[in-house]
Structure 1
Amino acid sequence: MLKIQEIRELIKLVDQSSIDEFTYEHEGSKIKLKKRMEELEKAAVQTAPVQAAPQMPAAQPAAAPAALQEVKEVPKEEAKAPAQDENLHKITSPMVGTFYAASSPDTDNYVSVGSKVTNDSVVCIVEAMKLFNEIEAEVKGEIVEILAENGQLVEYGQPLFLVRPE
C-alpha cells in the first residue's frame, strides 16, 4: 500500500503531466487518478447554476455529481475573491474527499481564523474511501480564512485555507 506522501507525489506528477488518467495497481491495491479540472473550470465559466439544476434529480439534490457541485460553488468563491490578498498562501486539498475541521465531533477544530501554523501543523482531515488523511499547512504563518465547511465534499486542488505567510 502506498503512503499518503507517495500518493501526493503521484497526484502532483499527474497534475503536471499531459496525461488525463493514471491507474496504479500493486498487490491487490488500485489507485486511479483522473485529471478533469480544466473541464470543470470551463463548465463553471460557461454554465450558470440555474442551467445545471435541471440535470439533477429533484428528489436528491444532496447526491449531485461533483461536477455540478463545483459549478454551484464558483459564484460563492468569486464573491470572496476581491477580499483576498495576493500574498496569501492557499492550502489546497490533495484529493477528492470530505473535509473535517476536527478529528472528531467532540474535539476542537485543528485551526481557526487567527491560528498560527507551522509547516507540519495539521489543519484538517480529508476523508477519502474511509481513510482519514491529515492535511498539513506546509507553510509557516497565520490562518486568515477557512474556505471549506465541516462535512463538505472537496475536490482535488480546491482551496481549503488562506494563510498569511510569516
Structure 2
Amino acid sequence: MISLLQRVREARVEVEGRVTGRIGSGLLVLVCAEQGDAEAEADRLLARVLKLRIFSDEAGKMNRSVQDVGGALLIVSQFTLAADTRGGNRPSFTQAAAPQEGRRLYDYFVERARAAHPDVQTGEFAADMQVHLVNDGPVTIPLRIAPPTAP
C-alpha cells in the first residue's frame, strides 16, 4: 500500500458541496491499495502512520507521533498514488488495485484506524473530492508498504 502523509493544521474533504470529513491539527492520510496488497499491508501501514514521529517536541525536534500529540486523521482514498509515469506523459495506473479490492482495503484501513485512534474522518471512496488543507511545516512524507515477495 502507498500513502502520502501531510501534517496539517486543518483539513477537510468536500464531495458535491458537502463536507465528508474535517479535522484540526493532525494528519491528512492519502492512501492507495496496489495489486497484491492485503490486510497485512493495511495493518503495517496503519501502524507506521500512527507511530511516525513527525510532530515537534518541546525542543522543536520531530519526535512525537500523531498519537502522542492527540492529533486527528483524515483518511482519503487516492488511487493516483500508484501512477507510473515512466512510459511517457500520460500516467498508467495498472499497479493500483482493482476498484472493488481497493474499496475493500480502504474500508478495512479506515475501520482499523477507527478502532485504534479516537479521531478519524474520511473522504468518500471513488468520489470526485476537493481536499482543502493547511500543510503544517510543510511536512509531507511518502510511505510504501509492499507485500512480501515470494522466495
TM-score tier (shorter): under 0.3
TM-score (norm 1): 0.25
Higher relative contact order (CA 8 A, sep 6+): 2
More strand by share: 2
Q: Which has the larger radius of gyration?
A: 1
